[in-house]
Each structure stands twice: as C-alpha cells, then as structure tokens.
Amino acid sequence: QVQLVESGGGLVQPGGSLRLSCAASGFTLDYYAIGWFRQAPGKEREGVSCISSSDGSTYYADSVKGRFTISRDNAKNTVYLQMNSLKPEDTAVYYCATSLCGTPPIGFGSWGQGTQVTVSS
C-alpha cells in the first residue's frame, strides 16, 4: 500500500509564493528519492526538482533554480516544494513521485494525483 497525496496548490499573483506538500502513506518516505514534476496544457511533463533518499541532495531544473526549494520532513513523512517569485509560466498541475534523481529527475514508482498551480494577475 503506497500512496502520495499532493496539496497546497492554488491561484497566486506573479511574484507570489506557494508551498506544495507531498504526503506519503504506506511506506517510509526517507527510504525514497522524491521528485516534483509539472505538466501544463499542451506541454510535456517536466521534472522540476528532486530530493535524494541517502544524503538529502537536491536537484532543480534550470527554469526554477533560485526560486524553488525542495525539502523533506521525515517525521511527518512529507516532502515540500517551496515556490517563490512565481511566474505565469509556472502554471501547471504539479505531481510528486518516487523518483530517480537526475537531470532531469525520472518518476518511476508511485505518483500522486496532482495539485493545480495557477499564476495569473
């Protein structure tokens, strides 16, 4: 029984911030690398960030470096994505998944249902 649930999306103005959560159940999160992915209408799914299971190393797509921060709280079995300085091009459905962290990260295991992020004036 493995489940990931994303939350925290919503409507925000350009330059604003959101914090997404990826809550795990049925497994211990700290054994897995977790990636954040996004998909906008008419665009391919994009890996935006990843956090490793072993040493906590983090990875970011060039498009979000300096604006997004991934972190994990093993006590809460949750991975977070802090998104600052949001741009309209960040608008997408955001997903988390058990992943292989790389450039870009690859989701290969369990996926959440996604949470909508809309950045608009």
For 14-38, write each residue's pLDDT tens digit.
999 999 999 998 888 878 899 999 9
Element (H, E) at 102: none
Q: 1: pLDDT confidence band, cut at 50, 70 and 90?
A: low
Structure confidence at residue 55 as a pLDDT band (50, 70, 90): confident
Residue 95 is predicted with a pLDDT of: 96
Contact 51, 70 (CB under 8 A): yes
* Structure token pair of residue 4: 């990931």
For residues 44 and 32, is the Cβ–Cβ distance under 8 A?
no
**Environment class of 66 (CB within 10 Å of its CB; exposed 0-12, middle 13-18, buried 19+):** exposed
| Tens digit of each residue's pLDDT (9 = 90 or more) over 68-97 | 999 999 889 999 999 999 999 999 999 999
More confident site: 110 or 66: 66
**Cα Rg of the chain (Å, integer):** 13
Dist. CA 45–CA 17, nearest whole Å: 22
Tell me how far apart the alpha carbons of residues 46 and 117 are, in angstroms, rounded to a whole number. 14
**Comparison of pLDDT for 111 and 8, the residue scoring more:** 8
Mean pLDDT of the chain: 93
